[in-house]
Amino acid sequence: MAVAAVMLMPGPGLGQQIAWERLSDGLMVSVWKPNHSCPTLPTMLVVDVDPERTRFSVHHYAQEGLTQPPKIGEWLHRTGHQLVFNAGLFRENFTYLGLLYQAGRSVGGHRHNLWKGLFVAEPTVKGIKNARILDLASDLFDEGRPVYGEAAQALMLLDQSGKIRVRDSGKYAYQTIVAETERGHILVFKSLGVVPLFDIGRCFKEALPTVRRAMAMDGGSSSDLRIVDSLWEKDLQSQEGDSWKSLFNGSTSFHIPLPTVIGVSPR
């Protein structure tokens, strides 16, 4: 299995290489340690998803006929996806906060007026991107007649203008970030250490300018990502000496029940 070095950002002194491992058509992974321009950021797992070759699916435990939310490993087994990651934010009683759509139908709460990030995928009309991040401060989303079948609302982290849209609160937590690149790919990041959201936004702005928009899904103990074991033909080693496979298959993480996840499968 070849490992390709991909320059995410042009420009002397600013660009940074990420060594990608291709797991399937439209799905690549890496273990990324930001350079000196992002001193507070921990190592991050990152998945590059090509929406032209893969499809996204929102899952909510109640819609699956379950009485309790599964942990991410069970979600992966139940859904049969190649990749599963946590979606959005929820209350202690597992009520989802914000807009949530599955197969064109609302399965979540009401629009949150302060959270302006909306991940959308699987268009119901022709001529638009298969997946993207909408900024509800400027983009329209018709809740009655959505043009995307799948949608999950959360916090806008970095907008098209390069503005960081979260406060510099100094609050540290594990984070899951979904970003859209200028090529139209979707990047999913999971931090392996605690970090403030503002620091991630600043790092993306300075080190990854091909990221056009980014949003923050639920963090803390809810931050989770899992890749099916069968995609790993061999077990590569990161620069830190950790097994990539063990990092992405969740064996090094603490897992809690997740009421909502987003899955990725081949088209």
pLDDT band at 10 (very low <50, low <70, confident <90, very high): very low
Predicted pLDDT at 233: 74
Q: Where are the chain's structural domains?
A: 3-266
Q: Rounding to the nearest 10 degrees, give the CA dihedral for residues 20, 24, 25, 31.
A: -20
The pair of three-digit structure tokens given for residue 23, joined into one six-digit string: 């797991």
Q: Rounding to the nearest 10 degrees, give the CA dihedral for residues 139, 83, 225, 44.
A: -80
Cross-sheet strand order for the sheet of 260-266: 54-60, 260-266, 83-86, 225-227
What would the mean pLDDT of 166-186 be, rounded to a whole number? 95
pTM to 2 decimals? 0.90
What would the mean pLDDT of 26-31 be, rounded to a whole number? 95
Model pLDDT for residues 128-144, shown as the tens digit of each residue? 999 999 999 999 999 99
Backbone dihedral region of 47: left (phi > 0), alpha (psi from -120 to 50 degrees) or beta? beta
d(CA 145, CA 153): 16
Task: List the one residue out of 202, 231, 212, 203 whose CA is nearest residue 34.
Answer: 203
pLDDT band at 209 (very low <50, low <70, confident <90, very high): confident
Count of CA atoms in the C-beta half-sphere (13 A) of 22? 10
Task: List the one residue out of 105, 121, 116 whose CA is nearest residue 49.
Answer: 121
